[in-house]
């Protein structure tokens, strides 16, 4: 088993304030409220609050709200959908909230509304999933490409330098998925004897996830490894392997540490997970917004919440997220 390694803690990756942040100024109304020390309202918009990984993000955002005595509203389009998220954000811009943190369901679709909020003097940061096409002031979260690299490297260490693998994701079109896939492919490309049989887009409905896993594994009986790019197809893969007498026979590397994922690592059905500290992502997004509002402090371009590998050797030291 691969020993867990902390690749990065919470650290800023850029020492200089980015140009977009340097040029940003609060709207007169927000600035007046800040100078009067009024309690601000910050919106934390996640791309799909129905996902299990959203729970610790909400917990973190709401905890920061209590610590800082600010209103932290965790919201987003249940079930996902870029159009719905854009409509919600348009509504918050009209209401004149004091800051917005966004995890984008689509980079291209969300960039214009993010820029619209910034043009109106509302500070906007991204968290969990970045939107590099926008002028967002900072990104609070894991380096997603790097997390994909770690996934690929971890699988190679468990599987060896030859084989055939499948990659699963609940949303192949999402920026976070593209970034992790890119990173995983970068790592695997260093090993020409490893073939990627396919990228399987499961969607995020539980029955569809399981069916997609079953169909893909049955169609590729000679696979020697699996990568899951997300929180939710990962435990479903472990379930499938357990039910079909394959637990422990195929190394499986994925993301996040949901309660079911934790149990499946303990049982040996899943091999390793790459955690991203989702609670801290929600928490620190609110902290950064409050620093902008209350102190006029502009953030660095990226606040990294880290990459940690958890496997059977250390999983019992970690609580589910």
Give tens-digit pLDDT for 188-230.
999 999 999 999 999 989 999 999 999 999 999 999 999 999 9
Helix (H) or strand (E) holding 12, with range, is: strand 11-12
- Beta bridge partner(s), residue 12: 303
In this prediction, residue 289 carries a pLDDT of 98
Is pLDDT at 121 greater than 60 in this prediction? yes
Q: Mind listing the domains of the chain with CATH numbers?
A: 17-141+277-299 (3.40.50.2300), 144-275 (3.40.50.2300)
State residue 48 phi and psi, 5-degree precision: -160, 95
Flag the least confident range among 2-6, 308-312, 317-321: 2-6
- Contact criterion met (CB below 8 Å) for 261 and 235: yes
- Give the confidence band of 319 by pLDDT, cuts at 50, 70, 90: confident
pLDDT (average), residues 175-189: 96
- The CA-based angle 230-236-242, given to 5 degrees, is 135
Is pLDDT at 134 greater than 50 in this prediction? yes
In this prediction, residue 5 carries a pLDDT of 35
Q: Which residues are CB-contacts of 47 (< 8 A; sequence separation ≥ 6)?
A: 76, 77, 80, 85, 103, 104, 105, 129, 174
- Beta bridge partner(s), residue 307: 8
Is pLDDT at 11 greater than 50 in this prediction? no
Distances in Å between the alpha carbon of 224 and those of 29, 44, 108, 166, 250?
A: 59, 40, 36, 9, 6
CA pair distance 99, 241, nearest whole angstrom? 44
In this prediction, residue 20 carries a pLDDT of 65
pLDDT (average), residues 9-35: 70
In this prediction, residue 2 carries a pLDDT of 35
pLDDT (average), residues 92-96: 97
DSSP assignment of 142-170 equals --HHHHHHHHHHHHHHHH-SSEEEEEEES
Query: How big is the chain by its Cα radius of gyration, in Å?
Result: 20
Order of all β-strands in the sheet with 163-169: 6-8, 307-311, 272-275, 252-255, 225-228, 163-169, 194-201
Residue predicted with more confidence, 124 or 319 = 124
Q: Which two tokens stand for residue 80?
A: 């996902």
pLDDT in tens, 47-81: 999 988 899 999 999 999 999 999 999 999 998 89
Residue predicted with more confidence, 214 or 5 = 214
In this prediction, residue 46 carries a pLDDT of 97
- Rounded to a whole number of angstroms, the distance between the first and last alpha carbons of the chain is 22
Q: Which two tokens stand for residue 7?
A: 């690749």
- Give the confidence band of 97 by pLDDT, cuts at 50, 70, 90: very high
Residue predicted with more confidence, 319 or 297 = 297
Residue 256, SS3 per DSSP = coil
Strand ranges inside 54-178, DSSP E = 71-75, 99-102, 124-127, 139-141, 163-169
In this prediction, residue 16 carries a pLDDT of 36
């Amino acid at each position: 088993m691969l020993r867990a390694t902390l690749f990065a803690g919470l650290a800023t990756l850029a020492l200089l304030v980015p140009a977009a942040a340097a040029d940003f100024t609060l709207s007169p109304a927000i600035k007046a409220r800040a100078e009067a020390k009024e309690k601000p309202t910050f919106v934390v918009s996640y791309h799909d609050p129905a996902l299990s990984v959203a729970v610790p993000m909400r917990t973190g955002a709401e905890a920061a709200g209590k610590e800082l005595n600010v209103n932290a509203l965790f919201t987003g389009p249940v079930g996902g959908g870029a159009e719905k998220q854009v409509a919600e954000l348009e509504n918050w811009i009209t209401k004149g909230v004091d800051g917005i943190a966004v995890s984008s369901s689509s980079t291209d679709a969300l960039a214009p509304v993010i820029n619209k909020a910034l043009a109106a003097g509302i500070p906007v940061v991204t968290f969990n999933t970045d939107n590099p096409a926008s002028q967002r002031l900072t990104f609070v979260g894991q380096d997603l490409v790097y997390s994909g690299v770690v996934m690929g490297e971890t699988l190679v260490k468990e599987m060896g330098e030859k084989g055939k693998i499948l990659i699963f994701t609940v949303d192949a079109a999402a920026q976070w998925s593209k970034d992790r896939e890119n990173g995983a492919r970068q790592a695997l490309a260093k090993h020409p004897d490893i073939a990627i049989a396919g990228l399987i887009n499961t969607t995020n409905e539980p029955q569809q996830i399981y069916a997609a896993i079953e169909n893909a594994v049955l169609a590729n009986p000679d696979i020697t490894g699996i990568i899951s790019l997300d929180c939710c197809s990962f435990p479903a893969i472990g379930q499938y392997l357990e039910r079909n007498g394959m637990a422990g026979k195929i190394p499986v590397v994925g993301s996040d540490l949901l309660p079911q994922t934790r149990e499946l690592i303990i049982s040996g059905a899943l091999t390793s997970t790459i955690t991203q500290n989702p609670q801290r992502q929600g928490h620190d997004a609110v902290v950064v917004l409050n620093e902008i509002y209350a102190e006029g402090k502009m953030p660095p371009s990226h606040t990294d919440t880290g990459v940690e590998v958890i496997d059977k050797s250390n999983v019992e030291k970690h609580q589910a997220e």
